[in-house]
Structure 1
């Protein structure tokens, strides 16, 4: 038996907006598998937290507006 080195995959990183999250959860619900649905909900919550953190960091007033002529 060979061993393969796998790269960690976090689906939450790719759920970048509410619509993506809704589709992800709807697909999970469609399986009818309670364990899978519960895990999908955890992923969705992590994605929401990551998105909120990203949005807060991007809107931080400490960053200069690089598109402005003064930058």
Structure 2
């Protein structure tokens, strides 16, 4: 049997809002596994940073102007 190499998957990119992050952390807490909980907290912090970066990028005036022009076209 031939095995395919796995590509890394970052769960942080799928945690796009505060509710998703809260559910993710609650599920981790339910396991009672301290190392798993610590890793989940790292993922949640990375997700929050990614969310903040997206919000800052979307609030950029040049981006907003471009989006408005595309919608008006």
TM-score (norm 2): 0.85
> What's the C-alpha RMSD, in Å, of the aligned pairs?
1.6
Gaps of 5+ in 2: none
Gaps of 5+ in 1: none
Cα distance in 2 between the residues matched to 1:25 and 1:14: 13
Name the SS of the counterpart of 1:35 in structure 2. helix
Match for residue 7 of structure 1? 7
Alignment of structure 1 residues 1-71 onto 2, 5 Å: 3-63=3-63, 64=65, 65=68, 66-67=70-71, 69=72
Cα distance in 2 between the residues matched to 1:7 and 1:52: 26
| Shift >3 Å, 4+ stretches | none
TM-score (norm 1): 0.87
The alignment of Structure 1 onto Structure 2 pairs a total of residues equal to: 69
Deviation at 1:4, TM superposition (A): 2.8
